[in-house]
Chain A
Amino acid sequence: MTGSYVGKAKGGKLIRLELSWTMDRIDALRLRGDFFAHPEDGFEAVEASLPGCLLTELGAAFARGIAERGVTVFGLLPEDLDDAAQAIVAAASG
């Protein structure tokens, strides 16, 4: 299934999340927005590592990834990804 979300993150910035998933597992993901991340390529490596994780664990996987890679993110919290994923799944479920 696929879906997208646009909304204001609790972290303060606008996020756009596009997801595709099978059963409860993420196949692909695109995350865009006006947040900041240092270093930027570290953030992209974390983003690239997220497919394969469970929808319900997206925020936790993101938090783990940025901690492991020493990425500092402003304007976007791990829970924002959980909120966005939940909204996408809810919309897809009708």
Chain B
Amino acid sequence: MELRYLETGFNPAAFNMGLDEAILNAVAEGRQPPTLRFYGWKPRAVSIGYFQGIEDEVDGAACARLGVDIVRRVTGGGAVYHADELTYSIVLPEAHDLARGTILDSYKTICAGVVEGLRILGIAAEFAPLNDVVAEGKKLSGNAQTRKRSCLLQHGTVLLSVDVDEMFELLKVPSEKMKGKLIEDVKARVSSVSAMLCRDFGYKEALPAFREGFAKALSASLAAGEPSEAELDDARRLAIEKFGERSWVSKR
């Protein structure tokens, strides 16, 4: 089984979400094969889940002050601070072997790529339903999935390092009174590849490990390619007309 493999580097949040959707459009229309993509975020960004409220979750003034993008995902789940991480997305037709079974089945199937990538790095991790990957009881990866146009899109993050205090400068919490305790809880529950390996571990080093991890776990050969011009045009259009639009960001 073959997957197209893309490394698209670091881009702004609206473009990143636009390219994920552009790839979904291309796969849905049969213009491109099932695709695995790795990417990063520049500038850093906060993404919120489809059903979240921007005013509830994000300190817009802090993001503006620190030059952090804000975007709403097409997938559910919680707010994520995208800083030092490797992000992947995978787009498959719903009829594809890797997308078969229940939604939970497909989360587990695809997250196996993250688990295997971590194993290659010497970190024993496991899938934690519904949508996390954990090691030593701590979250290293969050994942989110949607199904549109008879395709599955799943994207997820692998935390390479994490600064919880910086994260909470940008994210709001339900109760300011409880903020200190919440920060301590998150520090106890979340880790990173760098923390697990006790050394700095960066994006460039992560790419080959997770490329191999996904190929092995999904039993896929990865055919390296580039996004087509049509996909890039669609991504730029979506970045402007959808993901960068206030009406989308403030949708709920």
Chain A residues within CB distance 8 Å of chain B:
6, 13-14, 16, 30-40, 43, 72, 74-75
Contacts and interface: CB of A to CB of B under 8 A. Distances in A.
A32 B130 contact: no
Contacts of A14: 78, 174
Contact of A34 (B52, B103, B146): B52
> Interface size class for chain B?
20 to 34
Contacts of A43: 51
A39 B146 CA distance: 7
A94 B53 CA distance: 27
A31 B74 CA distance: 17
B148 interface: yes
29 contacts: A6-B174, A13-B78, A14-B78, A16-B53, A16-B56, A30-B252, A31-B51, A32-B53, A33-B51, A34-B49, A34-B52, A34-B76, A34-B77, A35-B51, A35-B76, A36-B51, A36-B77, A36-B130, A36-B131, A37-B76, A38-B103, A38-B145, A38-B146, A38-B147, A39-B148, A40-B50, A43-B51, A74-B76, A74-B130
B125 interface: no
A15 B221 CA distance: 41
A34 B78 contact: yes
B130 A75 contact: yes
Given A14-B174, A74-B130, A32 B51 contact: yes
Interface in B9-65: 49-53, 56
A39 B77 CA distance: 14
> Which applies to chain B's interface (DSSP): helix, strand, loop or mixed?
loop
B243 to A, nearest CB: 15
A32 to B, nearest CB: 4
Nearest to B252: A32
Interface string B140-159: 00001111100000000000
Nearest to B131: A36
A38 B53 CA distance: 18
Among A6, A37, A40, max chain B CB count under 10 A is at A40
B79 interface: yes
A38 to B, nearest CB: 6
A63 to B, nearest CB: 18
Contacts of A35: 51, 76
Contacts of A39: 146-148
Given A16-B56, A75-B130, A37 B252 contact: no
Contacts of B51: 31-37, 40, 43
A33 to B, nearest CB: 6
